[in-house]
A and B are shown apart, each in its own frame.
Chain A
Amino acid sequence: KAGVTQTPRYLIKTRGQQVTLSCSPISGHRSVSWYQQTPGQGLQFLFEYFSETQRNKGNFPGRFSGRQFSNSRSEMNVSTLELGDSALYLCASSQQGSGAFFGQGTRLTVV
């Protein structure tokens, strides 16, 4: 069974730009969650999508958004990038009782 795939692995963007990250979950998993990981704040929950609907949302500004497609693939978008958005963005797919399976993450650097 293929694991969670995140693309791209690395990204460098300029302040003010926007970025879209992609996540393909494990086949059959309908829940996809996104997390931001930084040295200072650790792993913080961004949002969760289930069957194309946002089911949970963390405490992040509206510049952070996401969506899920009918095949469970998910994207997250960050608009008007700030230096503080530099982080490792992790996607996880899960199903009831399975625990979360994480991708390798996308390392975003904002300059």
Chain B
Amino acid sequence: TQLLEQSPQFLSIQEGENLTVYCNSSSVFSSLQWYRQEPGEGPVLLVTVVTGGEVKKLKRLTFQFGDARKDSSLHITAAQPGDTGLYLCAGVGTSYGKLTFGQGTILTVHP
């Protein structure tokens, strides 16, 4: 069974601070995705990383895929209250329709 461990589970910071969320697994995934979910809504895809060592940037968000394709991180620079939400990492195995999710990180950014 493939498992993803995500940390931290909760993060409460002030506006302007930086933060990093980690996603680790003992298994190799063909790709890894990051989602953001707001209350009452479904998760929304932020990025997919495919190649070991890959780094992708989305405005103030930086995503990294580990060289061995077992771990990933999400770094947010100068967090804003609008970044508040549940961040989820998800591993894609042999089928792109089956995602294995981490437990999620609840981020709260205070003004």
Chain A residues engaging chain B, CB cutoff 8 angstroms: 4, 31-33, 35, 42-45, 48, 50, 55-56, 58, 90, 92, 94-97, 99-105
Contact B99 A33 (CB under 8 A): yes
Number of A-B residue pairs with CB-CB distance less than 8 Å in the complex they form = 66
Give the interface segment out of B43-51, B55-63, B70-78: B43-51
Which partner residue on chain A sits nearest B48 by CB separation?
A99
A48 and B98 contact, CB distance less than 8 A: yes
Query: Known contacts A42-B104, A99-B33, A100-B33: does B97 contact A33 (CB below 8 Å)?
Result: yes
Chain A interface, DSSP helix/strand/loop, else mixed: strand
Which of B48, B100, B101, B102 is most buried by chain A, counting CB atoms within 10 A of its CB?
Answer: B101
Q: How near does chain A come to B101, taking the closest CB pair, in angstroms?
A: 4
- Cβ-defined partner of A48 (8 Å) among B45, B48, B97, B104: B97
Which of B35, B88, B97 has the most CB atoms of chain A within a 10 A radius of its CB?
B97
7 A–B contacts, CB within 8 A, in A order: A31-B96, A33-B99, A48-B97, A48-B98, A96-B96, A100-B43, A102-B35
* Contact (Cβ within 8 A) A31 B97: yes
